[in-house]
Amino acid sequence: MACWLVRGTQIGRKRLEATTLVWYLSGCDSIPRWAMNRVVVSIVFVALATLAGCGDATTIASMPIADAGPDKVVAVGTDARLDGSSSSDSGGGTLTFQWTLESKPQGSTAALVAATTAQPVLRPDGPGTFLVSLVVSNGQRKSQPDFVGVRARGSVGNQPPIAAIQCRNQTCTQDECDGLTCWIRHGVTFNQLDGRFSTDPDLDDLTHTWSQVLPAACATECPDLPIADCPTIGDNVALLEESSTDNVWQYTAPATVGKLAFKLTVDDGELSDSACIAIDSVNFAPTATVAIANNRGDENVPLPLDGTGSFDSDPTDTSLSYAWTHDAGAGVTVTYDPSDAEEMWATVTGIGAPTNITFTLTVTDAAGAASTCPASGMPPCGTNCCGLRVSFAPACTDDSACASGNCECTNVDCSSRACSTATDPCICKYGIWGACTNLLPPGAEDIGDCHGGSTCNGSGVCG
């Protein structure tokens, strides 16, 4: 009767995320062994599997596992006792040990003592890192090597680490983020503080602990922080994703405007150091924009003003107020409908002669941030306010006024009438609120007699 056996055991280091197993295939009776009977498979768990098809199958010994113990930090000239006693063999076999000094600092003559025991000794003769490997055997099979590092400090002993904080994804008041004062937009959901530039003279691994400093604790927690930089915001920030022990800290800025302070403590296992940083949570004024739909208007004809493109880059400033102003001279009246809206109509009356009027929009956020716009002229767009200059012509009701060439006239037939010539003074024109479809007087065929991009057709109609 044919039978077969599969056994698998670990050959990878125990600290690896993926564990490597070696599988062996065996045959019995009339089925020969495989010539190539070793298959290596990488999986994410440790297993020892046996599948037997007959009772007399020969079991292959499992591979032992070497454990060289945790890394060591000692002073130069001090013994570092290594410990491989946690090595194991699933078959219960007796283990033998073989330690090897794989690498050491240049110029070192240090050597392992009792390298074939479970607990050898290494005495570093200079600062630096010594790498040691351990292989164990159960008499039938050897383990894969496991490694342990020995870090030797100088004769001065353990030195304290140095904490350092930098702004990350923020704008700093210094040319380089050197841990002084940074500013962020209030309410921004993704901000980072970076502690990765903290150092340890002995190259020890560091633990980073972050905390927010509240106003009452500033003098105690951050004695080196200037009083002017102590926090004014007592709201707790919201931590994002990463834990407070990571070297990069992510947080959400509060909606409040003012000062924040944070503290970083780094620890090498024996000694620690702390640093503080001040953050200005600031409010930026919104940006007002005016869509230029038309820069020519008529008296008594509503003019559309559109500020819907205005915005505020601060995420919490969702409520904005709008104020329209103008620089019309004395005697001129401007009526806004509705008043103080982002999109509205302005009607101008009281114009005695052609004139220019600048409309200015100022946008203010809930915190009161707004900018002063020029009282007259055309403010620059894209800053905190923007203006629109409109040329207005006065209304008239008879041809005699139009004949003087200084006004436009209106009647019931057209949206407005335009001056043409002294002999034919008033003609229908294309109005800014819609096309004029009335027939023009004879001879009114010049493109100047029609406005808004329309032309006179053969029938004398603006279209």
**Three-state DSSP class for 259?**
strand
Of 119, 153, 187, the one marking the end of a domain is: 153
If asked whether residues 438 and 458 sit together in one domain, one would say: yes
Task: State what percent of residues in the chain have pLDDT above 70.
Answer: 60
Q: Residue range 246-255: average pLDDT?
A: 77
Residue 216 belongs to a domain: yes
Residue 158 belongs to a domain: no
Residue 57 belongs to a domain: no
Number of structural domains, the chain?
A: 5
If asked whether residues 335 and 375 sit together in one domain, one would say: yes
If asked whether residues 173 and 247 sit together in one domain, one would say: yes
> Residue 94 has what pLDDT?
94
Please indicate whether residue 216 or residue 382 has the higher confidence score (pLDDT). Answer: 216
pLDDT band at 242 (very low <50, low <70, confident <90, very high): low
Q: Which of 14-18, 24-28, 212-216, 345-349 has the highest mean pLDDT?
A: 212-216
Of 250, 282, 314, the one marking the end of a domain is: 282
Query: Is residue 164 pLDDT above 70, yes or no?
Result: yes
How is 1-40 classified by DSSP, letter by letter? --EEEEEEEE-S-TTSSSEEEEEEEEEETTSPPPSS-EEE
Average pLDDT, the chain: 70
Quote the domain boundaries for residue 126.
72-153
For the stretch 60-73, pLDDT in tens is 789 999 999 999 98
> Residue 138 has what pLDDT?
95
Please indicate whether residue 256 or residue 14 has the higher confidence score (pLDDT). Answer: 256
Range of lowest pLDDT (91-100, 136-145, 373-382, 383-392): 373-382
Residue 289 belongs to a domain: no
Q: What residues contact residue 138 under an 8 Å CB cut-off, 6+ apart?
A: 61, 62, 64, 89, 91, 93, 94, 95
> Residue 416 has what pLDDT?
47
If asked whether residues 86 and 148 sit together in one domain, one would say: yes
Query: Is residue 405 pLDDT above 60, yes or no?
Result: no
Residue 105 belongs to a domain: yes
If asked whether residues 361 and 313 sit together in one domain, one would say: yes
If asked whether residues 188 and 253 sit together in one domain, one would say: yes
Tokens of 102: 């794989």
> Residue 46 has what pLDDT?
34
If asked whether residues 186 and 270 sit together in one domain, one would say: yes
What is the model's pTM?
Answer: 0.48
pLDDT band at 372 (very low <50, low <70, confident <90, very high): low
Cα separation, 126 vs 109, whole angstroms? 9
If asked whether residues 408 and 328 sit together in one domain, one would say: no
If asked whether residues 175 and 276 sit together in one domain, one would say: yes
Q: 77: domain CATH number?
A: 2.60.40.10
Residue 322 belongs to a domain: yes
For the stretch 279-316, pLDDT in tens is 888 887 787 777 766 667 777 778 888 888 787 777 66
Of 232, 256, 282, the one marking the end of a domain is: 282
If asked whether residues 412 and 312 sit together in one domain, one would say: no
> Residue 169 has what pLDDT?
52
* Residue 434 region by backbone torsions, left for phi larger than 0, else alpha for psi between -120 and 50, else beta: left
Helix, strand, coil percentages (3-state) for the chain, rounded to 5, are 5, 40, 55
Range of lowest pLDDT (126-135, 414-423, 432-441): 432-441
Sheet (strand 50-52) strand order? 38-43, 19-28, 3-10, 50-52
Q: Residue range 339-365: average pLDDT?
A: 81
Residue 291 belongs to a domain: no
If asked whether residues 117 and 82 sit together in one domain, one would say: yes
Residue 159 belongs to a domain: no
Q: Which of 9-18, 91-100, 369-378 has the highest mean pLDDT?
A: 91-100
> Residue 22 has what pLDDT?
40
Tokens of 199: 């150092």
If asked whether residues 276 and 314 sit together in one domain, one would say: no
